Structure 1
Amino acid sequence: MVGALLLGFVAGVIARVLMPGDVFRKMSGPASWLVSIGLGLVGAVVGYVIFTLGLGIGDDDIFDWGGILSAIIGTLIVIPVAGWLLRRSGKATP
């Protein structure tokens, strides 16, 4: 459980640094940390589905540190989708 949270946090932070200008850019402190963890966890699942289930690359553990690259790539996919959903619902500022 702790490993999954750390993986989500690291993947979320790295992906948010690689993708400047996202809808979460004005957050700071604990809210920003929680968003990074959530985005990273969802990104890890997306990366697992794409690479392990879809392409057959990687191992069978979703939240394994060996899958950090796929988690970061998955998070880079999740961030714009989450931003689009927030903008569409009117809860994010442009």
Structure 2
Amino acid sequence: MSYISAEKVLPTELINQIHKYVSGECLYIPVMHKKRKVWGMKSGYRQELDIRDSNIFALHQKGISVSELSEKYFLSEKSIYRIISKMSSIM
């Protein structure tokens, strides 16, 4: 995260109002909720996990056991059950 001088982007009146509450400190202003990206969307990892979960669900539907899926995907059986439950509620 980089810092931007408030004087470059905010009107003087607003800076004067902010000084009443915080002066000479770093102030973090979070991204508006509408503009936030869902976790993993920027890197593409969320999509990778969705594909993995779909594959796990499909294999389980074909009769592959939870313990086999656990070994294949290096996940706990509890995680496999959670994925199957999540995917069955979506489908």
Q: TM-score per shorter chain, which class?
A: under 0.3
Identify, as 1 or 2, the structure richer in helix: 1
- Which structure's CA Rg is the greater one? 2
Give the number of the structure with larger relative contact order, counting CA–CA contacts within 8 Å between residues 6 or more apart: 1
